Amino acid sequence: MSTEPEVIRVRSLFLSDVHLGTKGCQADLLIDFLRHYDADTVYLVGDIVDGWRLKSGWYWPQNHNDVVQKLLRKVRKGTHIVYVPGNHDEFLRDYVGSSFGGIELVDHAIHEGADGKRYLVIHGDQFDMVVRHARWLAFLGDWAYGAALATNTYVNIVRRRLGLTYWSLSAWAKLKVKNAVNFIGRFEELLSSEAQRYEVHGVICGHIHHAAMHDKFGVRYINTGDWVESCSAVVEHYDGNFEILRWTDRQVQVSAERRATRKRTRGQAALPAPSPLPPVMHDDDGDHAAALPVADTLKAALGLTSSDRPAAEGSRSKGPDNKRAA
Ligand SMILES: [Mn+2]
C-alpha cells in the first residue's frame, strides 16, 4: 500500500502514561506512532490503562481498543512486550507473573542495553510520598524513608476502597507551579538513587509526565513522558543510544510527508479503481487474527463484569407464581 509508512526498527521502545480509558489519551497519535516504529522489545512503563477512571465511568472508544490490538499484533509478529504496571493500572499488579495475549506482566524489569549497561524499569509512583516529604525524611533517616514508601502504597489502597481517586503527585506538583521544578528534581534524584540501590547504570520510568534524559544524579535517568500532553516515547537504537521522541513535533512532519506521497501517487497514471473491500475489523495491517476481547478482559480485571451484565434471560424469578422473597 502506498500510504504505508516506512517503519523504523529500534532495539527497544519505552512507553508510559498513555491513560487509555480517559478522554485525555491521545490514542490516534499513539496509533500513528506505533505504525512508524517497531522494536525487538517494548516496555510499557505503567499507567497504560487508567483503571481508576474506568472504574468510576466506563469510557473505551474504538481507538483505545485499537492501541491495545496494535500492541497485541506486534507480539504476534515477534515483539517481546513487557508491562510494568503503574498506579493507575495497579489492578494489573495482581497479575504480575502472568501474561495477557503474550504481554508479560512484571513488577519491575531490568533492561540490558546494547552496550551491556543495565537499567531499572519502574513506573515511579512508589516514591510519591517520599518526594512530597523529602526534607523530613532526610532528617529522619532510612527507617522513615521505608515507612514512607509503605505508607504511599497503603494510603492509595485506602483511597481506592473509599472510591477516591489516586492522589496524583504530578497533578499536585502542577498546582504548586512554583515548586513543580523542585518536585521533578526530587523525583529524578530519588529514582536515580533507587537505580544505585539496584546497582545498575540507570533508571527508566514514567509517572510525572515529564520526558527527560540526563546523568545529573550519578546514574542515567530516563523518563518516557506521556501520551496525554507531550506524546513522547523513548527508543533505544541498535547502537545503544537512547532518544526521546516527541510525536507532536514529528506528527507535523509526518503529515507533510504523507501529503507529498499522496500528491506523487495522484500524478501517476490512473488505474481502474478496485471494488471496495468489506471492512475487516479495525486493523488496517492485513492481520486478520481474531481480536482479543480487551474490553471484557479489562472489565473482569476491574471487577466490573457482574454489575454490567444484564440479568439472565428466561429466568423464572419474574414469573407471576414465584412467591420467593426478593
Ligand atoms: Mn502514574
> How far is the C-alpha of 272 from the C-alpha of 260, rounded, in Å?
22
Q: Report the run of H or E that residue 109 belongs to, with start and end.
A: strand 109-112
pLDDT at 148: 60
Q: What is the DSSP string of 260-305?
A: HHHHHHHHSPPPPPPPPPPP-TT-TTS--SPPP-HHHHHHHHTT-H
For residue 211, report the distance from its CA to the centre of ligand 1, in Å.
13
pLDDT at 126: 86
pLDDT tens-digit series, residues 275-316: 544 444 444 555 555 567 888 888 888 888 654 444 444 434
Q: What is the pLDDT along the chain (326 residues), one digit of tens a residue?
A: 456 678 999 999 999 999 999 988 999 999 999 999 999 999 999 999 999 889 888 999 999 999 999 999 999 999 999 999 998 898 999 999 999 889 999 999 999 999 999 999 999 988 887 666 655 655 555 565 566 666 666 666 666 666 555 555 555 555 555 556 677 888 899 999 999 999 999 999 999 888 999 999 999 999 999 998 888 999 999 999 999 999 877 666 656 666 676 666 565 544 444 454 444 444 455 555 556 788 888 888 888 865 444 444 443 443 344 333 33
Q: Report the run of H or E that residue 205 belongs to, with start and end.
A: strand 202-205
For residue 228, report the distance from its CA to the centre of ligand 1, in Å.
12
For residue 265, report the distance from its CA to the centre of ligand 1, in Å.
44
> How far is the C-alpha of 69 from the C-alpha of 208, rounded, in Å?
26
Packing angle of the helix pair 27-36, 247-267 (nearest 10 deg): 70
- CB 283 within 8 Å of CB 72: no
In the numeric block, which cell numbers belong to residue 80? Answer: 517481546
For residue 32, report the distance from its CA to the centre of ligand 1, in Å.
23
CATH, domain range 8-118+203-264+286-308: 3.60.21.10
For residue 119, report the distance from its CA to the centre of ligand 1, in Å.
19
Where do the DSSP E strands lie in 16-71?
37-44
> How far is the C-alpha of 100 from the C-alpha of 294, rounded, in Å?
10
pLDDT at 326: 38
> How far is the C-alpha of 263 from the C-alpha of 15, rounded, in Å?
33
Q: For the stretch 58-91, what's the b/e string if a residue is b when 16 or more beta carbons lie within 10 angstroms of its beta carbon?
A: eebeebbbbbbbbbbbbbeeebebbbbbbbbbbb
- Predicted TM-score of the model (pTM): 0.74
For residue 150, report the distance from its CA to the centre of ligand 1, in Å.
17
For residue 131, report the distance from its CA to the centre of ligand 1, in Å.
14
What percent of the chain is helix, strand and coil (3-state, nearest 5)? 40, 15, 40
**Domain spans, the chain:** 8-118+203-264+286-308
